Structure 1
Amino acid sequence: MEALAHPRQTERLELLHSFEILDTDREADFDDIAQLASQICGTSISVVNLIDADRQWFKAEVGLGLRETPLSTSICAHVILQDDFVEIPDTLNDPRMKDNPLCQANPGLRFYAGALLKSDDGLPLGTLCVLDHEPRTLTPLQRDTLRVLARQVVAQLEMRKALKGNKLLRQEIDHRVKNSLQSLSSLVGIQQRTAVSDETISALGTIHSRIQAVAQLHEQLYRTDGGPIINLKTYVEQLIQHFAVMAPSRVRLILEAEDCMIPSAQAVAVGTLVNEFVANSFKHAFPDERGGKVFIQITRGSAPNTVRFTCRDTGVGLPPEAEAVQGGLGMLIAQVISAELQSDLQVDTLPSGLSVSLEFAIAASDA
């Protein structure tokens, strides 16, 4: 006997599909629940079963060896029309099941107990059920445990859905922030080109670098859903690609980096330093059509959970009479970034170029 459609079938199916769980790979969280249900109830079969329009699909199963079966032979399709919990001690004594080929087979499915997987508004998605080849009954403790485990399945589904919603919201926010920062960056660039005072031009250039660093960060967050933690190597690669377009033809940009996951706030600080150093190298390190290279290096630090970051060029270096730590606004910004990262700034200026490096501890994420 084939089950009737649920009275709220359209709503039910819309809700089921909104979880985007059908036809996904097996996952330990659901497999563990099915395994525990089978062990506690002492049955050879246990299934996390979702009832689709024309099939029942198993997110997890023990003892069955299938991922789906037609709805025409589904016991659970009948159960979702009933109360929260259904137990059938002998399926051949139930008028809904006695002509079911799965129950009539040898050995057939003779025992069934299922707890509904039910949404907050009462719509059934499927069941967590246990089955066996011999008639039997569950104890009160086994029934209660099956109900609790069914609620855990629904909690897992709801959590997955909520996380996906948060991901999409975060991506939209990052996208909008990135676009807004790019617009602001363009305005600052216009102001910088029309400014007269060298001090104003330098200050606007610094602001422009900071905005670009944050904009590139949000670009990465939007593309990768990195959340509060991002790969510093990938982030700096994007910054390098941005600068490569503006690099003098005689100057090469080279990134030597290891994968390193750090909080986005620290990444912005590093990105600002990259922007400032590269821009100043392009402007001052290679006069008179001189060629050269600008290196950005990211490695593990000398202590656990630290990062060593170095910017180096093969240009003319700072003038001999200049104190390294007072080499203009760029060095002042480097000092500020160093303080922000709670690290010591190391500056080396030689005839063969300028090197700025620092080592910082990876901060704990707030997330």
Structure 2
Amino acid sequence: MTSAPIPDNELERIMNLADFDLDYTSQQDSFKDLAKLAAKVAGTEISLVNLIDTYTQWTISHHGLEIDQMPREDSVCQHTIMGDEGFEIKDLALDDRFKEKFYVVDDPNLRYYYGVPLKTDGINLGALCVLDNQERQITPEKAELLKIIADEIVNRLKGIKVISNLRSRLKEANEDKKKVAHDIRGPLGGIVGLARIISEQGHDNEIEEVLDFVNMIHKSGHSILELADEILSNNEPKPLKGDEFNLSLFKDKLEKLYQPQARTKNINFSVIISPDEAGTPFSKNKLLQIIGNLISNAMKFTPAQGKVTVHMDIAHQEDGEMLKIKVSDTGIGVSKEGIDNILSGNKTSTNGTGGEQGYGFGLALVKHLVGSLKGTMSITSEEGKGSVFHLSIPVDN
């Protein structure tokens, strides 16, 4: 098997992609006009907008071909991200790297490929590619137009990232508002209570001036308490925001993303959640990247007929609510040395049970992202019998 091409800056590249924190299944409408435009410019039947993570090529928008994902080692775009210019294959069927791929030997029987890297800050996140089942010609003028479209795709990706960051900052501001409301309730409650006592004593002493003054304090205190209650009520749980998941939605999302990989390798994949906590909201910050890499890694090292299972629950602890996640498999397992390398953040790589190429950066990325969320990760494994990854991540991260 031909070695998979790996950019020199691969760890930086996948960390940069993870920082966009994208849900790969929900971007179709954001880029479909640009995907269609790329095909029209190139004169091809098909165009795809692809992002490439450690294990998978995710098609976030497509024109002319219904496809959502494929293993990274099967993609042509993995070669496009190795350079800064366009990458062209005149006939995929005549190229030893691609002639046996499913999209060449079976429908849609692709032959022509031209790809342009999606570059941000000097890092290639993926590629815009145009394809056809017959030879096409990309003139220098068309190549330049495709580069312009690729730049616009990157600009939109950056815009999505900015909006996501603004939502996070708004959430923090709302939390600050809630804290202020709580903080003022204590002293104001004391003022109202003290005013009531003085007022009651004032009747016995018949100090009219004091009573009038105290009554004013009493009324003002109640007004501010009502304002605080209003602020607090505005922060009561509401339907999920754009930056939140609950266990039920997260389960559906993971099944949609990774059942295709499981079916391809004939693996039993399931996601199990606590029914009591199914509706509890939590921040989805980086979770798809973290759990997705663990699932892909588990499938990589689990043979056909094996199992990959994700368990998720919300634990209520003294120091706050924690998202508890366990990803287990019946694969080949990890040695003690391998576990130590993963937990120390060192990258290691071997080929999977189905011959999948090893990239060695997925678990290093997981370790980095879990740490950035102030979470913890532990691993238990027995060689030949599978592995279990345990994660504990603060719900409000």
Percent of aligned pairs with the same amino acid: 29
Distance 1:224 1:98, change over 3 A: closer
* Partners of 2:10 and 2:4 in 1: CA distance: 12
Deviation readout 1:190-209 (Å, 9 max, x if unpaired): 11221242122112222322
2:153 is matched with: 153
- Which secondary structure does the structure 2 equivalent of 1:84 belong to? coil
Q: CA deviation at 1:131?
A: 0.8
Q: Is the 8 A contact 2:177 2:231 kept in 1?
A: no
Q: Which residue of 1 aligns with 2:110?
A: 109
Counterpart for residue 143 of structure 1: 143
How many Å separate the matches in 2 of 1:132 and 1:201?
Answer: 78
Cα 1:25/1:199, change in 2 over 3 Å: closer
- Among 193, 202, 206, the residue aligned to 2:219: 202
1:35–1:46 contact (8 Å) kept in structure 2: yes
Distance across 2 between alignment mates of 1:225 and 1:94: 47
C-alpha distance in 2 between matches for 1:199 and 1:73 = 76
Q: Return the letter of the residue paired with 1:19.
A: F
For 1:205 and 1:100, the matched residues in 2 are separated by 73
The DSSP-based 3-state class of the residue aligned with 1:12 is helix
Whole-Å separation in 1 of the counterparts to 2:102 and 2:4: 14
Aligned to 1:29: 30
Corresponding letter in the other structure for 2:8: P
For the Cα contact (< 8 Å) 2:79–2:87, is it kept in 1? no
Q: How does 1:264-283 map to 2 (within 5 A)?
A: none
Partner amino acid, structure 1, of 2:229: Q
Alignment check: 8 A CA contact 1:174 1:222 kept: no
Q: Which runs of 5+ in 1 are unaligned?
A: 227-367
- Preserved CA contact (<8 Å) 2:116 2:147: yes
Give the 3 Å change call, closer, same or farther, for CA 106–60 of structure 1 in structure 2.
Answer: closer
Distance 2:4 2:105 in 1: 17
How many pairs are equivalent? 225
User: In 1, distance between residues paired with 2:190 and 2:102?
Assistant: 77
Aligned position for 2:49: 48
1:238 match: none
What SS class does the counterpart of residue 135 from structure 1 fall into? coil
1:180 is aligned to 180
Give 1:13's aligned residue: 14
What is the DSSP-based 3-state SS (H/G/I as helix, E as strand, rest coil) of the residue aligned with 2:161?
Answer: helix
What whole-Å deviation, never above 9, does each CA across 1:56-81 have from its counterpart, x for those lacking one?
12111122222112223211111111
Q: Partners of 2:218 and 2:45 in 1: how far apart?
A: 76
User: Aligned-pair distance for 1:95?
Assistant: 6.3
What SS does the corresponding residue of 1:24 show, helix, strand or coil?
helix
2:63 aligns with: 62
Moved more, 208-217 or 28-37: 208-217
Instruction: Please state how far the C-alpha of 1:39 moved relative to its aligned partner.
Output: 1.7
Pairwise CA distance, 1:140: 2.9
Moved more, 133-142 or 95-104: 95-104
RMSD across aligned C-alpha pairs, in angstroms? 2.8
Deviation for aligned residue 1:96: 4.7
Q: Which residue type is aligned with residue 132 of structure 1?
A: D
Q: Secondary structure at the match of 1:136?
A: coil
Q: Is the 2:28–2:62 contact (alpha carbons within 8 Å) kept by the matching residues of 1?
A: no
State the distance in 2 between where 1:220 and 1:37 align. Answer: 46
Measure the CA separation in 1 of the matches of 2:224 and 2:23.
49
Q: Where in structure 2 are the equivalents of 1:158-237 lying within 5 Å?
A: 158-195=158-195, 196=198, 197-217=214-234, 219-220=235-236
Looking at structure 1, the residues matched to 20 and 108 of structure 2 have their Cα atoms a distance apart, in angstroms, of 35
Whole-Å separation in 1 of the counterparts to 2:172 and 2:144: 42
Q: How far apart, in 1, do the equivalents of 2:150 and 2:236 lie?
A: 38
Q: How does 1:59-138 map to 2 (within 5 A)?
A: 59-91=60-92, 96-97=97-98, 102-103=103-104, 108-120=109-121, 122-138=122-138
Q: Please list the CA deviations of residues 219-267 of structure 1 after superposition, one character each: whole Å capped at 9, or x if unmatched.
A: 15998669xxxxxxxxxxxxxxxxxxxxxxxxxxxxxxxxxxxxxxxxx
How far 1:116 sits from its partner (Å)?
0.8
Report the CA distance between 1:4 and its aligned residue.
1.6
Inter-CA distance 207–70: structure 2 relative to 1 (3 Å threshold): closer
Shift >6 Å, 4+ stretches: 221-224
Contact 1:41 1:138 in 2 (8 A): yes
Give 1:89 deviation, angstroms. Answer: 3.4
Any idea what the Cα deviations from partners look like across 1:251-289, whole Å, max 9, x if unmatched?
Answer: xxxxxxxxxxxxxxxxxxxxxxxxxxxxxxxxxxxxxxx
Which ranges of structure 2 fall in alignment gaps of 5 or more residues?
199-213, 243-397
Residues 1:188 and 1:224: Cα distance change in structure 2 (over 3 Å): farther
Q: What residue identity is the alignment partner of 1:198? A: N
The secondary structure found in structure 2 opposite 1:188 is helix
Shift of 1:14: 1.9
Q: CA deviation at 1:159?
A: 1.6
What CA distance in whole angstroms lies between the structure 1 residues aligned with 2:125 and 2:10?
Answer: 10
Does the 8 Å CA contact 2:113/2:131 hold for their aligned counterparts? yes
The 8 Å contact of residues 110 and 131 in structure 1, kept in 2 or not, is answered as yes
| Amino acid corresponding to residue 230 of structure 2 in structure 1 | A
> Does the C-alpha gap of structure 1 residues 184 and 59 become closer, same or farther in structure 2, counting only changes over 3 Å?
same
**What one-letter code is carried by the residue in structure 2 that aligns with 1:179?**
K
Does structure 2 conserve the Cα–Cα contact (< 8 Å) formed by 1:49 and 1:60?
A: yes
Q: CA deviation at 1:101?
A: 5.7
Amino acid at match of 1:113: Y
Determine which structure has more spread, i.e. the larger CA radius of gyration: 1
SS in structure 2 opposite 1:115? Answer: strand
CA distance in 2, matches of 1:220, 1:163: 23
- Higher relative CO (CA 8 A, sep ≥ 6), structure 1 or 2? 2
Secondary structure in structure 2 of the residue aligned to 1:34 = helix
Question: Deviation at 1:18?
Answer: 2.6
Aligned partners of 1:2, 1:46: CA distance in 2, in Å? 26
Aligned equivalents of 1:124, 1:9: Cα separation in 2: 9
CA shift for structure 1 position 99: 6.0
* DSSP-derived class of the 1:146 partner: helix
